[in-house]
Amino acid sequence: MNKTEYIVDAFGVSQRSIELVCEAEKAVTDKFRELEETAEINQLKVMRAFSDNRVSERHFMPTTGYGYDDDGRDTLDKIYAQVFGAEDALVRHNWVNGSHTLSTMLYAVLRPGDTLLAVTGKPYDTLEEVIGIAGEDGNGSLKDFGIAYKQIDLIDGEVDFDGVEKALKSKKIRAVMIQRSKGYGWRPTYSAEKIGEIVKFVKGISPDTLCIVDNCYGEFADTKEPTDFGADLIAGSLIKNPGGGLAPTGGYIAGKKNLIELCSYRMTCVGIGRECGATLDFNRQAYQGLFMAPHTVLQALKAATLCASVFSMLGYETDPLPDGGRHDIIQSVKFGDKDKMIAFIQGIQKGAPVDSFVVPEPWDMPGYQDQVIMAAGAFVQGASIELSADAPLREPYIAYMQGGLTYESAKLGITVAADNVLKLNN
C-alpha cells in the first residue's frame, strides 16, 4: 500500500484532495527553502545564547516555596534577553496565557491619568475587557483605574501615520501599543523591522512615549525581534512560538531593564519582584522548548504556507499569499460562507493527534465578543504552536489556522480540511 492509498483508507480522504495538496506543496518549495534559512539563523542565535550563559544540568533543577536563588530561572531570563536583543527579560510559568502576560505589562507601566494609544487598530479580542472597551464597569479594567484609551484604525491594513502624529501632538501619550499579528482581522502581520519603523516614528515625535508590542505568534518568524529595533517592551505566550511545543504554560516579557523591573513588581508585588517565584519542574521544559522553538516555528510556517497554497488553488482569498512574507505563524483563509468555514475548522480537528474524534461547534468562549469555533487537538491545552484553527462567527467568515509541531502531521490536517470543504462544494 502506498502513501495515497493509506491516507484514503485510514482517514477517508478523497484522492482528489490528496492530489491537490501534493500539487500545492510543489508550488511552494522555493518558499520552504527561504523559511528554512530563517530557522537556521534563529537556531544559531539560541545556541549562542545557551553557550554564552553556560547552560548546564544545574539550571534544570526545581525550586519550591519562595524560590530564592533559582539560578535556572534567572539564567533563562538572561537567555531570552539575549535572543530577543533586549536589556532584560522575565520568563515565568505563572502567566496563564498571552493575554495575562500582556495585561501584566500594561498594568505595570500605566498609571491613573495616562493614555494608551493603539496604533494598529483594535487589539485582540481578549484585551478588550482588560482595556475597558468591553465588559462591565467596576471589573478592574484599565478604564476603572482612570487610564484613557485611544485607537487609530488602519488604512488598507497599514498604520495611519498622519493619525498617529496628530494623536501624539494633541495629548501626552504614555504608551503606544502595537499588535504584531492580525488577530481576528484581515490585514498584514507586521515584521519586526516594520514595527521598528513605527517605533522610530513615534519616538521622533514623542521620545518619552513607550512603545509596547503584542508579539504573540511572531517569535522566530523573522531573524530579529521588535526589541532589536527599539521597542521598549514585548510580550508573548510560551504555549505559542517560544515554548517550542514543550513548555506546558507560561509567558515572557522582554525589553528595557527599568520597565522589566516594573513588570516584575506587577507580577508579584512591589519590593519583591523577580526575586521570588519557585519554578517547580518548569525549567527543563522551558529551556528545551526554547531550544526547539526555531525548528518548531519552521514546521508551523511551512504548514501555513501549504495551507495558503491549497486554498488559493481552490479560489479562496488567503493572507498571506503562498509566496508572501511571513512574520507570524497565522494563516487566514476568507471563506465568505459560514458552513465552509466551520467545515475547514472541523477538518483541522480531525487531523489533530489529540481529540481527533471531537467535532468542534461554535460556543460562547470567555473573553470573546462573538461566538468562536476552535479546533485544538493539542498535547498542551490551548497551545497555538500545535496545529489549531479558530474563527469568530461573523462575516466575512475568516478562519485562522496556526501551528503544527511537525509539518507532516499538519499536512494531514490541511488535507482533511480541504477534503471537507471540497465535499461542500460538490
Nearest to 410 by CA among 338, 339, 348, 336: 348
Are the C-beta atoms of residues 127 and 161 closer than 8 Å to each other? Answer: no
CA nearest neighbour of 390 among 342, 424, 334, 425: 342
How many whole angstroms separate alpha carbon 349 and alpha carbon 417? Answer: 8
Closest CA relative to residue 242, chosen from 294, 280, 195? 294
3-state secondary structure of 233: strand
Residues 6+ apart with CB under 8 A from 414: 21, 303, 306, 307, 310, 348, 351, 401
What does the pLDDT read at residue 2? Answer: 83
Q: Report the alpha-carbon distance of residue 211 to residue 340 in Å, rounded.
A: 39
Query: Which residue carries 497599514 as its cell?
Result: 158
Amino acid identity for residue 411 in this structure: K
Say what the pTM is.
Answer: 0.96
Q: Which overall architecture, per CATH, does domain 60-290 show?
A: 3-Layer(aba) Sandwich (3.40)
Those residues whose C-beta lies under 8 Å from the C-beta of residue 402, and which sit 6 or more positions away, are 217, 300, 304, 328, 329, 330, 331, 384, 385, 388, 389
Over its C-alpha atoms, the chain yields an Rg (Å, rounded) of 21
pLDDT, one tens digit per residue, over 399-423 is 999 999 999 999 999 999 999 999 9
For residue 281 the three cell numbers come to 519542574
CB 99 within 8 A of CB 126: yes
pLDDT the model gives residue 368: 75
Pick the CATH number of 3-42+293-425 from 3.40.1190.20, 3.90.1150.60, 3.30.230.10, 3.40.50.10900: 3.90.1150.60
Residue type, 129: E
Q: State how far the Cα of 358 lies from the Cα of 340, in Å rounded to an integer.
A: 18
Amino acid identity for residue 23 in this structure: E
The residue written with cell numbers 496545529 in the block is 387
Per-residue pLDDT at 217: 97
Give me the pLDDT at residue 398, please: 97
pLDDT at 425: 80
**Separation CA 110–CA 344 (nearest Å):** 41
Distance of CA 176 to the CA centre of its chain: 19
How many residues in total does the chain contain?
A: 426
| Amino acid 1: pLDDT | 65
Phi, psi of 250 (to 5 degrees): 110, 175
Cα separation, 40 vs 295, whole angstroms: 8
At residue 229's C-alpha, the angle toward residues 224 and 232, to 5°, is: 115
Q: How far is Cα 426 from Cα 416, in angstroms, rounded to an integer?
A: 15
Q: Look at residue 369 in the predicted model and tell me its pLDDT.
A: 76
Handedness of CA 123, 128, 132, 133 (dihedral sign): positive
For CATH 3.90.1150.60, list the domain ranges present in the chain: 3-42+293-425
pLDDT means over runs of 10, the chain (426 residues): 83 93 98 98 98 98 96 98 98 97 98 98 91 92 97 96 97 97 91 98 98 98 98 98 98 98 98 96 97 98 98 98 97 97 96 94 82 94 95 95 97 97 87
DSSP E strand boundaries for 303-392: 317-319, 331-334, 372-375, 388-392
pLDDT at 19: 95
